[in-house]
Structure 1
Protein backbone atom coordinates (compact mmCIF):
# COMPACT_ATOMS: atom_id res chain seq x y z
CA UNK A 1 0.00 0.00 0.00
CA UNK A 2 1.39 3.40 -1.01
CA UNK A 3 0.46 6.42 1.06
CA UNK A 4 0.55 9.87 -0.53
CA UNK A 5 0.57 13.29 1.04
CA UNK A 6 3.01 15.50 2.89
CA UNK A 7 4.50 12.83 5.20
CA UNK A 8 8.19 13.20 4.34
CA UNK A 9 9.26 9.88 5.88
CA UNK A 10 6.73 7.93 3.80
CA UNK A 11 7.72 9.82 0.66
CA UNK A 12 11.37 8.97 1.38
CA UNK A 13 10.49 5.27 1.81
CA UNK A 14 8.58 5.19 -1.47
CA UNK A 15 11.47 6.85 -3.29
CA UNK A 16 13.94 4.34 -1.84
CA UNK A 17 11.70 1.46 -2.94
CA UNK A 18 11.55 2.91 -6.48
CA UNK A 19 15.34 3.37 -6.56
CA UNK A 20 15.87 -0.29 -5.56
CA UNK A 21 13.26 -1.67 -7.96
CA UNK A 22 13.89 0.51 -11.03
CA UNK A 23 16.82 2.48 -12.38
CA UNK A 24 15.53 5.89 -11.34
CA UNK A 25 16.93 9.14 -9.97
CA UNK A 26 15.42 11.93 -7.94
CA UNK A 27 15.86 15.03 -10.08
CA UNK A 28 14.51 17.38 -7.42
CA UNK A 29 11.48 19.63 -7.69
CA UNK A 30 9.58 19.59 -10.98
CA UNK A 31 10.69 22.40 -13.28
CA UNK A 32 10.16 21.17 -16.85
CA UNK A 33 8.18 18.18 -18.08
CA UNK A 34 7.00 17.32 -21.60
CA UNK A 35 7.31 20.90 -22.83
CA UNK A 36 5.57 22.39 -19.80
CA UNK A 37 7.55 24.68 -17.53
CA UNK A 38 6.49 24.51 -13.88
CA UNK A 39 7.28 27.11 -11.25
CA UNK A 40 5.95 26.65 -7.74
CA UNK A 41 5.83 28.54 -4.50
CA UNK A 42 4.11 27.85 -1.20
CA UNK A 43 0.89 29.41 -2.47
CA UNK A 44 0.77 28.71 -6.21
CA UNK A 45 1.82 26.73 -9.26
CA UNK A 46 2.58 28.41 -12.58
CA UNK A 47 2.39 26.41 -15.83
CA UNK A 48 3.91 27.77 -19.01
CA UNK A 49 4.72 26.52 -22.50
CA UNK A 50 6.65 29.57 -23.72
CA UNK A 51 9.64 27.57 -24.98
CA UNK A 52 7.43 25.03 -26.73
CA UNK A 53 5.25 27.77 -28.27
CA UNK A 54 8.33 29.54 -29.63
CA UNK A 55 9.50 26.26 -31.16
CA UNK A 56 6.11 25.80 -32.85
CA UNK A 57 6.20 29.35 -34.26
CA UNK A 58 9.75 28.76 -35.51
CA UNK A 59 8.76 25.39 -37.03
CA UNK A 60 6.01 27.16 -39.00
CA UNK A 61 8.62 29.47 -40.52
CA UNK A 62 6.70 32.51 -39.31
CA UNK A 63 9.37 35.18 -39.71
CA UNK A 64 7.23 38.29 -39.92
CA UNK A 65 6.51 40.37 -36.84
CA UNK A 66 2.75 40.62 -37.33
CA UNK A 67 0.60 39.96 -34.28
CA UNK A 68 -3.09 39.20 -33.99
CA UNK A 69 -5.49 40.30 -31.27
CA UNK A 70 -7.81 37.34 -31.84
CA UNK A 71 -7.14 33.73 -32.86
CA UNK A 72 -9.66 33.85 -35.71
CA UNK A 73 -11.38 36.40 -37.89
CA UNK A 74 -14.95 37.33 -37.04
CA UNK A 75 -17.68 35.52 -39.03
CA UNK A 76 -15.22 33.36 -41.00
CA UNK A 77 -16.55 29.92 -41.88
CA UNK A 78 -13.90 27.48 -43.00
CA UNK A 79 -15.00 24.71 -45.35
CA UNK A 80 -13.48 21.95 -47.45
CA UNK A 81 -13.81 23.71 -50.84
CA UNK A 82 -12.42 27.26 -50.47
CA UNK A 83 -8.82 27.91 -51.43
CA UNK A 84 -6.38 25.60 -53.16
CA UNK A 85 -5.09 22.31 -51.74
CA UNK A 86 -1.70 22.52 -50.01
CA UNK A 87 1.16 20.91 -51.91
CA UNK A 88 2.58 19.34 -48.76
CA UNK A 89 0.00 19.03 -45.96
CA UNK A 90 2.50 17.43 -43.54
CA UNK A 91 3.58 20.72 -41.94
CA UNK A 92 -0.07 21.75 -41.48
CA UNK A 93 -0.81 18.46 -39.72
CA UNK A 94 2.26 18.74 -37.49
CA UNK A 95 1.43 22.30 -36.47
CA UNK A 96 -2.18 21.44 -35.69
CA UNK A 97 -0.95 18.61 -33.47
CA UNK A 98 1.41 21.00 -31.71
CA UNK A 99 -1.41 23.48 -31.18
CA UNK A 100 -3.59 20.76 -29.69
CA UNK A 101 -0.87 20.19 -27.10
CA UNK A 102 -0.53 23.93 -26.49
CA UNK A 103 -4.16 24.11 -25.38
CA UNK A 104 -2.94 22.60 -22.09
CA UNK A 105 -1.79 26.07 -21.01
CA UNK A 106 -3.72 28.11 -23.57
CA UNK A 107 -7.36 27.03 -23.25
CA UNK A 108 -8.35 30.15 -25.20
CA UNK A 109 -7.10 28.34 -28.32
CA UNK A 110 -9.24 25.23 -27.83
CA UNK A 111 -12.14 26.22 -30.09
CA UNK A 112 -10.16 27.46 -33.09
CA UNK A 113 -7.70 24.57 -32.86
CA UNK A 114 -10.72 22.26 -32.93
CA UNK A 115 -11.91 24.05 -36.08
CA UNK A 116 -8.61 23.82 -37.98
CA UNK A 117 -8.08 20.22 -36.89
CA UNK A 118 -11.18 19.24 -38.87
CA UNK A 119 -9.25 19.84 -42.08
CA UNK A 120 -6.05 17.84 -41.46
CA UNK A 121 -7.01 15.19 -44.01
CA UNK A 122 -7.09 17.69 -46.90
CA UNK A 123 -5.92 21.17 -45.82
CA UNK A 124 -6.27 24.08 -48.20
CA UNK A 125 -4.78 27.58 -48.42
CA UNK A 126 -7.64 29.09 -46.38
CA UNK A 127 -6.94 26.64 -43.58
CA UNK A 128 -3.24 27.50 -43.69
CA UNK A 129 -4.11 31.20 -43.42
CA UNK A 130 -6.28 30.45 -40.37
CA UNK A 131 -3.43 28.45 -38.83
CA UNK A 132 -1.00 31.34 -39.35
CA UNK A 133 -3.46 33.70 -37.66
CA UNK A 134 -3.59 31.36 -34.65
CA UNK A 135 0.22 31.39 -34.49
CA UNK A 136 0.30 35.21 -34.68
CA UNK A 137 -2.24 35.33 -31.85
CA UNK A 138 -0.14 32.86 -29.89
CA UNK A 139 2.91 35.07 -30.39
CA UNK A 140 0.98 38.07 -28.99
CA UNK A 141 -0.24 36.10 -25.94
CA UNK A 142 2.76 33.83 -25.43
CA UNK A 143 3.37 34.94 -21.84
CA UNK A 144 -0.25 34.54 -20.73
CA UNK A 145 -0.09 31.23 -18.94
CA UNK A 146 -1.85 29.39 -16.13
CA UNK A 147 -1.58 30.18 -12.44
CA UNK A 148 -3.09 27.73 -9.96
CA UNK A 149 -3.42 28.68 -6.34
CA UNK A 150 -2.46 25.89 -3.97
CA UNK A 151 -4.77 27.36 -1.34
CA UNK A 152 -7.94 27.54 -3.43
CA UNK A 153 -10.68 24.96 -3.17
CA UNK A 154 -11.25 22.39 -5.86
CA UNK A 155 -14.87 23.42 -6.33
CA UNK A 156 -16.14 23.37 -9.89
CA UNK A 157 -17.80 26.67 -10.75
CA UNK A 158 -19.83 27.33 -13.90
CA UNK A 159 -21.44 30.46 -15.27
CA UNK A 160 -24.32 30.69 -17.69
CA UNK A 161 -26.02 33.59 -19.45
CA UNK A 162 -29.72 32.90 -18.82
CA UNK A 163 -30.82 35.72 -21.16
CA UNK A 164 -28.86 34.25 -24.06
CA UNK A 165 -30.09 30.74 -23.29
CA UNK A 166 -33.70 31.96 -23.19
CA UNK A 167 -33.35 33.32 -26.74
CA UNK A 168 -31.98 29.95 -27.94
CA UNK A 169 -34.44 27.59 -26.25
CA UNK A 170 -37.25 26.04 -28.26
CA UNK A 171 -39.92 26.21 -25.54
CA UNK A 172 -41.67 29.25 -24.12
CA UNK A 173 -41.23 29.81 -20.41
CA UNK A 174 -43.69 31.54 -18.12
CA UNK A 175 -41.26 33.29 -15.80
CA UNK A 176 -37.68 34.45 -15.50
CA UNK A 177 -37.18 31.91 -12.71
CA UNK A 178 -38.12 29.10 -15.09
CA UNK A 179 -35.75 30.53 -17.72
CA UNK A 180 -32.90 30.59 -15.21
CA UNK A 181 -33.75 27.07 -14.08
CA UNK A 182 -33.65 25.80 -17.70
CA UNK A 183 -30.32 27.59 -18.28
CA UNK A 184 -28.91 25.99 -15.13
CA UNK A 185 -30.07 22.54 -16.31
CA UNK A 186 -28.42 23.06 -19.68
CA UNK A 187 -25.16 24.26 -18.11
CA UNK A 188 -25.14 21.28 -15.75
CA UNK A 189 -25.68 18.91 -18.66
CA UNK A 190 -22.77 20.52 -20.53
CA UNK A 191 -20.49 20.09 -17.52
CA UNK A 192 -21.45 16.46 -17.06
Structure 2
Protein backbone atom coordinates (compact mmCIF):
# COMPACT_ATOMS: atom_id res chain seq x y z
CA UNK A 1 0.00 0.00 0.00
CA UNK A 2 1.38 3.42 -0.96
CA UNK A 3 0.66 6.58 1.01
CA UNK A 4 1.74 10.17 0.44
CA UNK A 5 2.21 12.50 3.40
CA UNK A 6 2.70 16.26 3.01
CA UNK A 7 5.18 16.54 5.88
CA UNK A 8 8.89 15.87 5.39
CA UNK A 9 10.67 13.10 7.23
CA UNK A 10 14.02 11.36 7.27
CA UNK A 11 14.45 7.83 5.88
CA UNK A 12 12.86 5.59 8.47
CA UNK A 13 11.60 2.04 8.74
CA UNK A 14 9.52 0.54 11.51
CA UNK A 15 8.28 -2.93 12.37
CA UNK A 16 5.18 -3.31 14.54
CA UNK A 17 3.78 -6.59 15.86
CA UNK A 18 0.32 -7.17 17.29
CA UNK A 19 -0.15 -10.75 18.43
CA UNK A 20 0.61 -12.93 15.42
CA UNK A 21 0.23 -10.03 12.98
CA UNK A 22 3.01 -7.86 11.57
CA UNK A 23 3.02 -4.40 10.00
CA UNK A 24 5.98 -2.86 8.20
CA UNK A 25 6.33 0.84 7.45
CA UNK A 26 8.98 2.31 5.15
CA UNK A 27 9.23 6.10 5.11
CA UNK A 28 11.30 8.24 2.74
CA UNK A 29 10.86 12.03 3.02
CA UNK A 30 7.08 12.31 2.36
CA UNK A 31 6.41 8.88 0.84
CA UNK A 32 5.40 5.82 2.85
CA UNK A 33 5.02 2.15 2.01
CA UNK A 34 2.87 0.27 4.50
CA UNK A 35 2.39 -3.47 4.34
CA UNK A 36 1.43 -6.24 6.71
CA UNK A 37 -0.30 -9.52 7.33
CA UNK A 38 -3.73 -8.18 8.33
CA UNK A 39 -5.84 -5.77 6.25
CA UNK A 40 -7.91 -4.52 9.18
CA UNK A 41 -4.81 -3.51 11.16
CA UNK A 42 -3.38 -1.78 8.08
CA UNK A 43 -6.55 0.26 7.62
CA UNK A 44 -6.62 1.17 11.31
CA UNK A 45 -2.98 2.33 11.19
CA UNK A 46 -3.63 4.52 8.14
CA UNK A 47 -6.66 6.10 9.78
CA UNK A 48 -4.64 6.85 12.88
CA UNK A 49 -1.79 8.38 10.89
CA UNK A 50 -4.30 10.41 8.88
CA UNK A 51 -5.65 11.89 12.09
CA UNK A 52 -2.18 13.24 12.89
CA UNK A 53 -0.87 14.14 9.43
CA UNK A 54 -2.24 15.35 6.11
CA UNK A 55 -2.09 12.12 4.10
CA UNK A 56 -3.42 10.57 0.93
CA UNK A 57 -3.91 6.83 0.46
CA UNK A 58 -2.79 5.89 -3.07
CA UNK A 59 -3.89 2.27 -2.81
CA UNK A 60 -1.79 -0.67 -4.00
CA UNK A 61 1.86 0.20 -4.57
CA UNK A 62 2.67 0.84 -8.23
CA UNK A 63 5.32 3.58 -8.17
CA UNK A 64 7.91 4.54 -5.57
CA UNK A 65 11.04 6.74 -5.85
CA UNK A 66 11.20 6.37 -9.62
CA UNK A 67 10.64 2.60 -9.51
CA UNK A 68 7.60 1.07 -11.15
CA UNK A 69 5.96 -1.97 -9.51
CA UNK A 70 4.06 -4.40 -11.76
CA UNK A 71 2.19 -7.36 -10.23
CA UNK A 72 0.79 -10.60 -11.50
CA UNK A 73 -0.69 -13.55 -9.59
CA UNK A 74 2.61 -14.97 -8.31
CA UNK A 75 5.30 -12.29 -8.67
CA UNK A 76 6.09 -8.62 -9.01
CA UNK A 77 8.62 -6.77 -11.14
CA UNK A 78 10.53 -3.64 -10.14
CA UNK A 79 11.70 -1.54 -13.08
CA UNK A 80 12.90 1.97 -13.93
CA UNK A 81 11.87 2.15 -17.57
CA UNK A 82 10.54 5.71 -17.38
CA UNK A 83 13.64 6.90 -15.53
CA UNK A 84 15.88 5.32 -18.18
CA UNK A 85 13.90 6.99 -20.97
CA UNK A 86 14.25 10.32 -19.16
CA UNK A 87 18.03 9.88 -18.98
CA UNK A 88 18.32 9.08 -22.67
CA UNK A 89 16.33 12.19 -23.55
CA UNK A 90 18.21 14.38 -21.05
CA UNK A 91 21.61 13.54 -22.52
CA UNK A 92 20.52 13.59 -26.16
CA UNK A 93 20.93 9.83 -26.64
CA UNK A 94 17.37 8.82 -27.50
CA UNK A 95 18.35 7.97 -31.05
CA UNK A 96 21.44 5.85 -30.33
CA UNK A 97 21.74 2.35 -31.75
CA UNK A 98 21.16 -0.38 -29.10
CA UNK A 99 23.93 -2.81 -28.20
CA UNK A 100 23.96 -6.19 -26.41
CA UNK A 101 26.51 -5.55 -23.65
CA UNK A 102 27.41 -2.44 -21.62
CA UNK A 103 31.21 -2.63 -22.02
CA UNK A 104 33.67 -3.89 -24.59
CA UNK A 105 35.13 -7.33 -23.86
CA UNK A 106 38.12 -7.20 -21.46
CA UNK A 107 37.94 -3.41 -21.35
CA UNK A 108 40.38 -1.87 -18.85
CA UNK A 109 40.07 1.88 -18.61
CA UNK A 110 42.98 3.78 -17.09
CA UNK A 111 43.24 7.07 -15.22
CA UNK A 112 46.32 7.89 -17.31
CA UNK A 113 44.37 7.84 -20.58
CA UNK A 114 45.08 10.76 -22.95
CA UNK A 115 42.69 13.48 -24.12
CA UNK A 116 41.08 14.67 -20.86
CA UNK A 117 37.65 16.25 -21.19
CA UNK A 118 37.76 20.07 -21.07
CA UNK A 119 34.63 20.09 -18.91
CA UNK A 120 33.93 16.95 -16.82
CA UNK A 121 30.46 18.14 -15.75
CA UNK A 122 28.45 16.20 -18.32
CA UNK A 123 30.45 13.03 -17.63
CA UNK A 124 29.75 13.30 -13.90
CA UNK A 125 26.07 13.93 -14.50
CA UNK A 126 25.76 10.91 -16.80
CA UNK A 127 27.57 8.55 -14.45
CA UNK A 128 25.73 9.86 -11.39
CA UNK A 129 22.40 9.30 -13.12
CA UNK A 130 23.36 5.75 -14.07
CA UNK A 131 24.17 4.92 -10.46
CA UNK A 132 20.52 5.20 -9.47
CA UNK A 133 19.50 2.99 -12.38
CA UNK A 134 21.45 0.09 -10.82
CA UNK A 135 18.77 -0.05 -8.09
CA UNK A 136 16.81 -2.46 -10.29
CA UNK A 137 19.45 -3.28 -12.90
CA UNK A 138 22.21 -5.53 -11.50
CA UNK A 139 23.42 -6.11 -15.06
CA UNK A 140 24.69 -2.50 -15.09
CA UNK A 141 26.51 -2.69 -11.76
CA UNK A 142 30.04 -3.55 -12.90
CA UNK A 143 30.00 -1.19 -15.88
CA UNK A 144 28.77 1.76 -13.79
CA UNK A 145 31.24 0.97 -11.00
CA UNK A 146 34.05 0.93 -13.57
CA UNK A 147 33.30 4.34 -15.08
CA UNK A 148 32.69 5.83 -11.60
CA UNK A 149 36.40 5.50 -10.90
CA UNK A 150 37.29 8.34 -13.28
CA UNK A 151 35.02 11.11 -12.03
CA UNK A 152 37.91 13.33 -10.98
CA UNK A 153 39.63 13.52 -14.38
CA UNK A 154 37.58 11.83 -17.11
CA UNK A 155 38.96 11.43 -20.61
CA UNK A 156 37.38 10.89 -23.99
CA UNK A 157 37.78 7.10 -23.73
CA UNK A 158 35.87 7.16 -20.44
CA UNK A 159 33.06 9.17 -22.00
CA UNK A 160 32.89 6.72 -24.90
CA UNK A 161 32.45 3.88 -22.39
CA UNK A 162 29.61 5.74 -20.66
CA UNK A 163 27.84 6.34 -23.98
CA UNK A 164 28.13 2.63 -24.73
CA UNK A 165 26.39 1.89 -21.43
CA UNK A 166 23.54 4.15 -22.54
CA UNK A 167 23.36 2.26 -25.84
CA UNK A 168 22.93 -0.94 -23.85
CA UNK A 169 20.26 0.70 -21.69
CA UNK A 170 18.43 1.79 -24.86
CA UNK A 171 18.15 -1.85 -25.94
CA UNK A 172 17.07 -3.15 -22.54
CA UNK A 173 14.56 -0.54 -21.37
CA UNK A 174 11.95 -3.10 -20.36
CA UNK A 175 14.20 -5.11 -18.06
CA UNK A 176 13.26 -5.24 -14.39
CA UNK A 177 14.01 -7.21 -11.26
CA UNK A 178 11.48 -9.97 -10.59
CA UNK A 179 10.45 -11.25 -7.17
CA UNK A 180 8.51 -14.52 -7.24
CA UNK A 181 6.65 -16.44 -4.60
CA UNK A 182 9.17 -18.99 -3.40
CA UNK A 183 8.68 -21.55 -0.64
CA UNK A 184 12.45 -21.75 -0.13
CA UNK A 185 14.05 -19.60 2.57
CA UNK A 186 17.55 -20.77 1.66
CA UNK A 187 20.12 -17.98 1.37
CA UNK A 188 22.67 -18.56 -1.39
CA UNK A 189 25.51 -16.19 -2.14
CA UNK A 190 27.83 -16.16 -5.16
CA UNK A 191 31.16 -14.34 -5.11
CA UNK A 192 34.08 -13.68 -7.41
CA UNK A 193 37.20 -11.55 -7.57
CA UNK A 194 39.11 -10.21 -10.57
CA UNK A 195 42.67 -10.47 -9.29
CA UNK A 196 44.82 -7.35 -9.87
CA UNK A 197 42.43 -6.21 -12.57
CA UNK A 198 42.98 -2.47 -12.14
CA UNK A 199 45.82 -1.38 -14.48
CA UNK A 200 46.56 1.70 -12.34
CA UNK A 201 46.70 0.30 -8.79
CA UNK A 202 46.60 -3.49 -9.34
CA UNK A 203 43.77 -3.71 -6.85
CA UNK A 204 41.29 -6.54 -7.35
CA UNK A 205 37.54 -6.19 -7.81
CA UNK A 206 35.01 -7.96 -5.59
CA UNK A 207 31.66 -9.06 -6.99
CA UNK A 208 28.83 -10.78 -5.15
CA UNK A 209 25.15 -11.69 -5.43
CA UNK A 210 22.92 -12.80 -2.55
CA UNK A 211 19.70 -14.75 -3.21
CA UNK A 212 16.80 -15.78 -1.01
CA UNK A 213 15.41 -18.76 -2.84
CA UNK A 214 15.32 -17.62 -6.47
CA UNK A 215 15.03 -13.91 -5.61
CA UNK A 216 18.04 -11.61 -5.83
CA UNK A 217 18.29 -9.55 -2.64
CA UNK A 218 21.67 -7.85 -2.88
CA UNK A 219 24.56 -7.46 -5.29
CA UNK A 220 27.68 -5.40 -5.61
CA UNK A 221 30.87 -4.62 -7.46
CA UNK A 222 33.68 -2.87 -5.59
CA UNK A 223 37.41 -2.38 -5.92
CA UNK A 224 39.26 -3.89 -2.97
CA UNK A 225 41.04 -1.45 -0.67
CA UNK A 226 44.44 -3.20 -0.72
CA UNK A 227 46.59 -5.11 -3.20
CA UNK A 228 46.31 -8.91 -2.97
CA UNK A 229 49.42 -11.03 -3.48
CA UNK A 230 47.56 -13.93 -5.08
CA UNK A 231 44.22 -14.80 -6.65
CA UNK A 232 43.39 -16.87 -3.55
CA UNK A 233 43.92 -13.83 -1.33
CA UNK A 234 41.73 -11.69 -3.59
CA UNK A 235 39.00 -14.33 -3.50
CA UNK A 236 39.31 -14.58 0.27
CA UNK A 237 38.83 -10.85 0.70
CA UNK A 238 35.77 -11.11 -1.54
CA UNK A 239 34.58 -14.00 0.63
CA UNK A 240 34.90 -11.85 3.76
CA UNK A 241 32.84 -9.02 2.20
CA UNK A 242 30.17 -11.45 1.01
CA UNK A 243 30.00 -13.15 4.40
CA UNK A 244 29.35 -9.78 6.05
CA UNK A 245 26.48 -9.13 3.62
CA UNK A 246 25.00 -12.58 4.20
CA UNK A 247 25.15 -12.22 7.98
CA UNK A 248 23.31 -8.90 7.75
CA UNK A 249 20.47 -10.52 5.80
CA UNK A 250 20.42 -13.42 8.22
CA UNK A 251 19.99 -10.96 11.09
CA UNK A 252 17.25 -9.10 9.19
CA UNK A 253 15.29 -12.29 8.49
CA UNK A 254 15.45 -13.26 12.13
CA UNK A 255 14.26 -9.80 13.09
CA UNK A 256 11.27 -10.35 10.80
CA UNK A 257 10.72 -13.75 12.47
CA UNK A 258 11.78 -15.84 9.50
CA UNK A 259 13.88 -18.78 10.64
CA UNK A 260 16.05 -20.64 8.17
CA UNK A 261 16.20 -24.42 8.33
CA UNK A 262 19.72 -24.45 6.86
CA UNK A 263 22.67 -22.07 7.26
CA UNK A 264 23.40 -19.73 4.32
CA UNK A 265 25.37 -21.32 1.50
CA UNK A 266 28.23 -19.31 -0.01
CA UNK A 267 29.47 -20.49 -3.40
CA UNK A 268 33.06 -19.72 -4.32
CA UNK A 269 35.03 -20.87 -7.37
CA UNK A 270 38.44 -20.78 -5.62
CA UNK A 271 39.31 -24.01 -3.81
CA UNK A 272 42.27 -22.46 -1.99
CA UNK A 273 40.08 -19.76 -0.43
CA UNK A 274 37.60 -22.39 0.79
CA UNK A 275 40.40 -24.55 2.20
CA UNK A 276 41.92 -21.60 4.07
CA UNK A 277 38.60 -21.00 5.82
CA UNK A 278 38.67 -24.51 7.28
CA UNK A 279 42.34 -25.38 7.75
CA UNK A 280 44.39 -23.44 10.35
CA UNK A 281 47.63 -24.81 8.83
CA UNK A 282 47.41 -21.98 6.31
CA UNK A 283 47.66 -19.39 9.07
CA UNK A 284 51.39 -18.76 8.58
CA UNK A 285 50.80 -17.87 4.94
CA UNK A 286 47.98 -15.46 5.63
CA UNK A 287 49.30 -13.22 8.41
CA UNK A 288 48.95 -10.11 6.26
CA UNK A 289 45.18 -10.63 5.98
CA UNK A 290 44.54 -12.74 9.06
CA UNK A 291 41.58 -10.63 10.23
CA UNK A 292 39.56 -11.84 7.24
CA UNK A 293 40.85 -15.38 7.78
CA UNK A 294 39.76 -15.52 11.41
CA UNK A 295 36.45 -13.77 10.69
CA UNK A 296 35.34 -16.31 8.10
CA UNK A 297 36.80 -19.32 9.89
CA UNK A 298 34.95 -18.46 13.09
CA UNK A 299 31.58 -18.37 11.31
CA UNK A 300 32.34 -21.61 9.42
CA UNK A 301 33.34 -23.45 12.60
CA UNK A 302 30.20 -22.46 14.47
CA UNK A 303 27.99 -23.41 11.53
CA UNK A 304 26.67 -19.92 10.80
CA UNK A 305 27.60 -20.27 7.12
CA UNK A 306 28.45 -23.12 4.76
CA UNK A 307 31.03 -22.84 1.98
CA UNK A 308 30.94 -24.82 -1.22
CA UNK A 309 32.95 -24.88 -4.44
CA UNK A 310 31.33 -23.78 -7.69
CA UNK A 311 32.97 -24.12 -11.12
CA UNK A 312 34.07 -20.76 -12.48
CA UNK A 313 32.14 -21.18 -15.74
CA UNK A 314 28.82 -21.02 -13.86
CA UNK A 315 29.84 -18.40 -11.29
CA UNK A 316 27.03 -15.84 -11.39
CA UNK A 317 29.13 -13.17 -9.63
CA UNK A 318 31.53 -13.14 -12.60
CA UNK A 319 29.26 -10.53 -14.19
CA UNK A 320 30.18 -8.10 -11.36
CA UNK A 321 33.97 -8.29 -11.77
CA UNK A 322 34.80 -7.87 -15.44
CA UNK A 323 33.45 -7.09 -18.89
CA UNK A 324 32.36 -10.26 -20.67
CA UNK A 325 31.53 -11.44 -24.22
CA UNK A 326 27.89 -10.82 -25.08
CA UNK A 327 26.76 -14.51 -25.08
CA UNK A 328 28.24 -15.14 -21.61
CA UNK A 329 27.01 -11.79 -20.32
CA UNK A 330 23.45 -12.48 -21.48
CA UNK A 331 23.52 -15.99 -20.01
CA UNK A 332 24.65 -14.66 -16.63
CA UNK A 333 22.20 -11.77 -16.36
CA UNK A 334 19.42 -14.24 -17.04
CA UNK A 335 20.42 -15.83 -13.71
CA UNK A 336 20.06 -12.47 -11.90
CA UNK A 337 16.24 -12.48 -11.70
CA UNK A 338 15.97 -9.97 -14.57
CA UNK A 339 12.86 -10.17 -16.74
CA UNK A 340 11.06 -8.02 -19.29
CA UNK A 341 8.47 -5.74 -17.76
CA UNK A 342 5.16 -6.71 -19.47
CA UNK A 343 3.88 -3.12 -19.21
TM over 0.5: yes
Equivalent position of 1:74 in the other structure: 105
Q: Which runs of 4+ in 1 moved over 2 A?
A: 150-155, 158-161, 167-170, 178-181, 183-188
Equivalent position of 1:17 in the other structure: 48
- Matched residue SS, 2:188: coil
Equivalent position of 1:141 in the other structure: 172
The aligned runs of 1:2-151 (5 Å cut-off) are 2-3=16-17, 4=23, 5-151=36-182
1:168 Cα deviation (Å)? 4.0
1:160 Cα deviation (Å)? 6.5
Give the alignment's TM-score, normalised by structure 2: 0.47
Q: Over aligned residues, Cα RMSD in angstroms?
A: 2.8
Q: Deviations over 1:15-54 (max 9, x none)?
A: 0111011111101111111111101234111111111011
Give the alignment's TM-score, normalised by structure 1: 0.80
For structure 1, list consecutive stretches of 5 or more residues without a partner in the other structure. Answer: 162-166, 171-177
Judge conservation of contact 1:160–1:184 (CA < 8 Å) in 2: no
**Larger RCO of the pair (alpha carbons < 8 Å, separation 6+):** 1
Q: Name the stretch that deviates more: 23-32 or 128-137.
A: 23-32
Relative distance call for 1:30 and 1:24 in structure 2 (3 A) is: same
Q: Deviations over 1:109-142 (max 9, x none)?
A: 1111011011112211111000000000111122
* Partners of 1:184 and 1:45 in 2: CA distance: 40
Give the total of aligned pairs. Answer: 177
For structure 2, list consecutive stretches of 5 or more residues without a partner in the other structure. Answer: 1-14, 18-22, 24-35, 193-229, 234-269, 278-295, 297-305, 308-316, 318-343
* Partners of 1:68 and 1:137 in 2: CA distance: 5
- Matched residue SS, 2:50: helix
